[in-house]
Every structure is written in structure tokens, then in C-alpha cells.
Amino acid sequence: MLMEQERTEIVEYLKMLITHGLTKGTGGNISVYSPELKLMAISPSGMDYFKLMPEDIVIMDPEGNVVDGKRKPSSEYEMHGIFYRERTDILSVVHAHSPYASILACLNWGIEPCSYLIGSAGRNVRCTKYETFGTEELAQSALEGMKDRYAVLLGNHGLLAGGLDLPTAFDTAEEIEFCAEIYYKCKAVGEPVLLNKEQMDVIIEKFAAYGVQPEAEE
């Protein structure tokens, strides 16, 4: 099966979108890109995540042409493909309708650096203006909103996160949902104290090395 490992991984992480509280029903979508094959594996449209099999995941090229698979791909395939065409540092994209990120997106608020954890995505998280789902306009808006970042809030919609692999992209989505909750609750009772540029410089540097383990000795 073409991209079997990536397909299997996507099936497992789609279930985690539900069990980790990042979406409801069949909302959200996930993709993984293979730079060697120049193909992406992406979740199908409107299928129960707990009934999916690896063969239900669709294989496409970044331009949106189906290469393998019998299912209809996610309506947001263009929003995934544009990152694989334009950014070499993103090889997986996770889109979620997580509660607090979606609340801020409906307020058209970005997330300011009130928590150091925002460093997993960058210095802040921007919010784009509303664009209809499944359109090239939304894809372009997401790309611009995530410039120099690894997450973006889609206006009146939800959250998008990217990374070098699916575990990293998923972790970023979870971290930014947490940051969205913290920011929203801070704003509910007052004005949060924001980290300054110098503090964020240190955080960004530390996040660049976070989780990097030394190679085991022979």
C-alpha cells in the first residue's frame, strides 16, 4: 500500500483529535507529506474516525490530484497542499476545531505571548480574516497567517498547526489550544501580562533544542 506507514499514523491521530478534545464528530483533518515521493496522505471527507482503515486515507499530490485511494479527500486538501508546495519545514498539517482556539477565532483575536508555551508555534499566533472552508482563498490566508510560525487561527473557523512530522504538528495543536484557553481566561478577568521580545527570544531559542536527545552510545 502506498504510504502505508503515513496512512496508519493518520488513522491513529484522527482518533486522538476526538479523545484529546481537539474536535467533535468528523471535524478537522490531518495530512502527512513525503518529500521523497512528493505526495501527501490526507484524511477522507466526512468519515467516522473510529471506523477508518489505512486504505481510507487518500494519497494526493500537492496540487490536489488523487494518486491512490477510493475515498473523497478532505475538502481542505488545498489548505494542506499549499504548505507542502511553499514550506520545506512543514511535513505534516493538523487542522482542528478545538474549543478555545475556535472561540478566539470567532472573536478574530490572535493569541499574544502570555504563556511561554506559545513558543512551540512562534512569538504569537495570528488570526486570519474569515474565508469559506475548502477554498483557495482560505489556503492562501492560512499560509500567510502562519508565516514564520507553526500555528494560525483561521477566522471564525478553528486552528491549524504544522510541523516536521505528525507527532510534532499534533503536539503544537494541543499546546496552542492550551495557550488559547489561558489567554481567553486571562482576558475574561483582566489584561494578561505579556512576555516581552527579549524574553521570547530566549524561549524561541530554548524551544529549538527542546526534545532533542543525544544519540545513544554504541
Give the C-alpha distances (Å, rounded to integers) separating 185 from 30, 86, 107, 144, 200: 28, 35, 14, 27, 21
Answer yes or no: are the C-beta atoms of 84 and 160 closer than 8 Å. no
Q: What residues does 31 pair with on adjacent strands?
A: 42, 93
Q: Exposed (0-12), middle (13-18) or buried (19+): which is 116, by Cβ within 10 Å?
A: middle
Cell of 212: 532533542
Separation between Cα atoms, residue 55 and residue 188, nearest integer Å? 45
The helix (run of H) or strand (run of E) holding residue 35 is none
Residue 94: which of 177, 36, 156 has the closest Cα? 177
Active-site positions? 76
